[in-house]
Structures are given as C-alpha cells and as structure tokens.
Amino acid sequence: MEVIAAVKKVKAKVVAIDAPLALPKGRHCLKEHCRGRAHFRACDRTLTMMRIRFFPITIGPMRTLTERGIRIAKILRKMHVQVIETFPGAAQDILGIPRKQDGLEALQAGLISLGCKGDLIDRQLTGDELDAVNCALVAKSYASGSYLAIGDPSEIMMILPNFPSES
C-alpha cells in the first residue's frame, strides 16, 4: 500500500488518517443487518454540536473508507506508529480556511497562510493532496501537544487543531 510505504520511508512516529478508524459503540460491523445499528460515534455527535458538516460512517462510500481506514490503522499500529483519526473538513473549519469544495486554490492559499511549505509553494495540489497536508498539520499539532480531542475514549477520539487564539 502506498500509505504504508510512505510512512516507512519517512519513519513517521504519528500518522493522522482522514478516515473513520472506529465504529459507533455497540456496532460490530458496517453491514445493513448488523446488530447495534448506531450511525454516530461520540465524536460525530460533537461535530454536529460544533455545527461542522460531515458524512456518517454508515452511508454508502463512507463504509468503504471506514473499512480501509481501520485496516491501514491496524497495520501502522503493528509497526509501532501512533495513529490518530482526524477530519480535514473540520480542521479547515476550525482554522478558518476554506474546504476543498470551496475551491482548491483557496484551500491551498489557506494552508500556505498557516505556514505550510513544500509542494504547496511549487504547484497546485489535488484535493486529496491538500487534505493530506491538512492531516500532516494535525499530526504535527498532536505531536507537539497542542490539539483538540473530541469523542469518547472507549470508542475513539478524533483529533483536531486547537481553535486559533483570539488576537
């Protein structure tokens, strides 16, 4: 897998994944017939209270993303990498920068304004690449101890950047 190879190459200690990494408490699978048919995790309910839009993990393509995220996280944890779940859309809302749906150039400019460098400066990145930069920014914040954790620890904590301080 490309993600695993990249983590090995850079010897990452913390990886922030843009995918759900846990099912709602009481839910044992993502199939329609699964007992404990909860659709929302505690972190999802907190996003709702924060008025941050997201897709529930049990709808269509989110099921595949969730299964893939859980699988990748398991592999990375076996490699002794600390894995955190994040959501770039929420991070972008908190940081006051546009989401990719609002325009890739605007999102890229927003990430640059936060001090991100590298390929962001040299070329226009795709939406997925910009979300990956956002994930790296959250992982860096987490590693430095400056982050917001939402959810229920018995389920999963979603890691987001701290709200910007008022100047």
Domain spans of the chain, in order of start: 2-19+39-160
Percent of the chain with pLDDT over 70: 93
Neighbours of 26 (CB within 10 A): 11
pTM: 0.89
Binning pLDDT at 50, 70 and 90, where does residue 32 land? Answer: low
pLDDT recorded at residue 73: 95
pLDDT (tens digit, 9 = 90+) per residue, 47-65? 999 999 998 887 888 888 9
pLDDT recorded at residue 37: 66
Binning pLDDT at 50, 70 and 90, where does residue 167 land? Answer: very low
CA 77 – CA 32 distance, rounded (Å) = 28
